[in-house]
């Protein structure tokens, strides 16, 4: 169905359904009003197109939000949908500019009484970072769902249509309220804080380390929530009013025989914070740890995370965080730790306060 409908959409364009008008009760013969969902599109594989059918190669962000919506059968039965194009990029090119533009527009829409929830389409490469960022800056109880796909829209057995269908179903579900930003992928529901991409190409590419997925779906009709709202919603938000960019934070990857070269280079480039993607429990060679300690003494915030993929990096286990002035990332992976550190640095440079932020979010 997807491959049959999409070419016609690309040629003729699309018209989205209008938002739900008013709040009056429908007449007995009318269909009850649907939830009003806005889809904000940023591009990604879900909007990708293959130059030649059957080839593995494709270009991200080629299909408009209108076309995506019209090419999903029966989507209009789930909600009254409008769409906006925020960007048309592969998510490897996600930037502060797009993040802030997206967050500001999302905030505006969520404040409107005419919007019941949001769906954000996104490439999968940095989807977990954007979802976590949004969970930290959007102050709302309305459902916000981020969705992507592993196969482009013209691929045989593309996963985008069902993912988008499920995302709209979750955003229209009153039970999704108050759960923070959620991610839908391959019939599975993830919390923004927990989700991570764990496979390069498989449809089942996303996992939720440590605590498991937030729920599962069955073709938009039946959603089972495994985790309570308190386990998926962020405990605090960071206002971004007035921000045009975020502090520079670089990730330093630990490995055998690593020295402090990249630490010094990052500091010289203007990094205000560093995240160690450490071996094991957030560790590194003596030379690497000493370079990070020197950076911390100079006022650069240093957070220890791990490259392992799961587990918790706690304070003062193998590394003396107290004496070195480091922050322990807890269960955040390096890319998520970087997002939180960038936002924390907009509020404070105090290491103890940053540690508290990591322990509470």
Catalytic residues: 45
Name which of 275, 280, 335 is nearest 312 in CA terms: 280
Taking residue 33's Cβ as centre, other Cβ atoms within 10 Å add up to 14
Q: Hey, how many other C-beta atoms are within 10 angstroms of the C-beta on 295?
A: 22
Contact between 254 and 276 under an 8 Å Cβ cutoff? The reply is yes
Classify the phi-psi angles of 136: left when phi > 0, otherwise alpha if psi is within -120 to 50, otherwise beta.
alpha
Q: Could you tell me which residues are beta bridge partners of residue 224?
A: 216
Are the beta carbons of 358 and 321 closer than 8 angstroms? Answer: no
Strand partners, 276: 252, 304
- Alpha carbon dihedral 345, 249, 190, 196, in 10-degree steps, equals -160
Residue 301's DSSP bridge partners are 273
Task: State the Cα angle at 140 between 347 and 70, rounded to 5°.
Answer: 120
Instruction: For helices 351-360 and 334-344, give the axis angle rounded to 10 degrees.
Output: 120
Tell me the C-alpha distance between 262 and 37, whole Å: 45
Backbone φ and ψ for 237, nearest 5 degrees, come out as: -125, 155
Distance of CA 65 to the CA centre of its chain: 18
């Amino acid at each position: 169905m997807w491959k049959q409908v999409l070419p016609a959409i690309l040629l003729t364009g699309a018209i989205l359904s209008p938002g739900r008008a008013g709040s009056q009760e429908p007449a007995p013969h009318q269909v009850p009003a649907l939830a009003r969902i806005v889809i904000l599109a940023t591009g990604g594989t879900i909007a990708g197109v293959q130059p030649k059918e059957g080839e593995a190669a494709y270009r991200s962000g080629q299909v408009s939000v209108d076309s995506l919506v019209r090419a999903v059968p029966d989507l209009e039965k789930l909600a009254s949908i409008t769409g906006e194009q925020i960007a048309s990029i592969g998510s490897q090119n996600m930037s502060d500019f797009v993040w802030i533009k997206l967050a500001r527009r999302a905030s505006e829409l969520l404040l409107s009484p005419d919007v019941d929830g949001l769906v954000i389409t996104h490439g999968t490469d940095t989807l977990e970072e954007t979802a976590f960022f949004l969970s930290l800056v959007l102050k709302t109880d309305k459902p916000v769902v981020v969705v992507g796909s592993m196969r482009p829209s013209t691929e045989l057995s593309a996963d985008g249509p069902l993912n988008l269908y499920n995302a709209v179903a979750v955003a229209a579900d009153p039970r999704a309220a108050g759960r923070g930003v959620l991610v839908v992928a391959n019939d599975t529901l993830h919390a923004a804080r927990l989700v991570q991409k764990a496979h390069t190409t498989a449809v089942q590419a996303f996992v939720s380390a440590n605590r498991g997925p937030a729920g599962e779906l069955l073709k938009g009709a039946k959603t089972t929530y495994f985790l309570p709202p308190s386990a998926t919603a962020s405990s605090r938000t960071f206002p971004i009013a007035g921000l045009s960019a975020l502090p520079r934070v670089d990730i330093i990857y630990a490995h055998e025989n690593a020295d402090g070269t990249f630490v010094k280079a990052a500091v010289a480039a203007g990094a205000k914070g560093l995240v160690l993607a450490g071996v094991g429990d957030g560790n590194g060679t003596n030379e690497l740890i000493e370079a990070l300690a020197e950076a911390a003494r100079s006022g650069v915030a240093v957070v220890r995370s791990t490259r392992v993929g799961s587990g918790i990096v706690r304070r003062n286990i193998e590394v003396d965080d107290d004496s070195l002035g480091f922050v322990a990332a807890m269960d955040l992976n390096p890319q998520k730790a970087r997002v939180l550190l960038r936002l924390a640095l907009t509020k404070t440079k105090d290491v103890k306060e940053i540690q508290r932020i990591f322990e509470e979010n």
